[in-house]
């Protein structure tokens, strides 16, 4: 793992919530920029777009699929340990390459969704929607179908949530899959 990435991940151990949140945001942006590049976007264009958000040392980092897996695995480990910022970590996972994030995301949702609060449910579904959009936009729906029944149960149940934002998102996902 690149030193800068390892340093960034070390901030996830901080007891300072703001510092930890900033690290998660940087991780998400780093994953997103590199996902665009891995999907064929122009590097110079991505650097220009992301320089508003990322420090110079992070801006120049190129992550392989394998390196993205390491980062996502670290986030998953913390989610499974019930980190107080798990919902933000789901958001970051949703910025990773679909081949990395989608299988790991669905694995965690299947295992823990019954314990999710509204914020965690929402962010995990945002990540799920990102991956569904990725596959849909590339005419790769067979990667999603058949969607695991446990994931579909999660989304169906959340579509009836008393939290309007969660229910709206779940219904949008369901409508997008039909």
Would you say 124 and 109 are in contact if contact means Cβ atoms under 8 Å apart? yes
Distance CA 134, CA 69 (A): 18
pLDDT digits (tens, 9 = 90+) for 128-153: 988 887 655 555 555 554 457 788 88
Question: Which tokens in the block code for residue 14?
Answer: 């901080």
Distance CA 1, CA 4 (A): 8
CATH number of 3-177: 1.25.10
The pTM of the full predicted model, rounded to 2 decimals, is: 0.87
Is the peptide bond prior to 78 cis by the omega test (within 30 degrees of 0)? no
pLDDT digits (tens, 9 = 90+) for 53-101: 998 889 999 999 999 999 999 999 999 998 889 999 999 999 999 889 9
């Amino acid at each position: 793992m690149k030193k800068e990435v390892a340093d960034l991940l070390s901030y996830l151990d901080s007891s300072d919530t703001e510092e930890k949140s900033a690290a998660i945001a940087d991780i998400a942006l780093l994953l997103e920029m590199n996902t665009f590049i891995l999907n064929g976007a122009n590097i110079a264009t991505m650097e220009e777009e992301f320089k508003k958000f990322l420090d110079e040392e992070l801006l120049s980092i190129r992550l392989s699929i394998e390196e993205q897996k390491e980062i996502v695995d670290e986030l998953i480990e913390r989610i499974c340990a019930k980190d107080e910022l798990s919902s933000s970590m789901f958001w970051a996972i949703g910025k990773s390459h679909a081949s990395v994030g989608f299988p790991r995301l669905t694995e965690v949702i299947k295992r823990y969704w019954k314990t999710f609060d509204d914020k965690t449910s929402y962010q995990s579904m945002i990540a799920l929607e990102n991956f569904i959009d990725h596959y849909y936009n590339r005419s790769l729906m067979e990667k999603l179908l058949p969607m695991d029944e446990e994931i579909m149960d999660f989304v169906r149940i959340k579509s009836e949530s008393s939290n309007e934002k969660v229910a709206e998102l779940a219904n949008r996902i369901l409508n997008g899959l039909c």
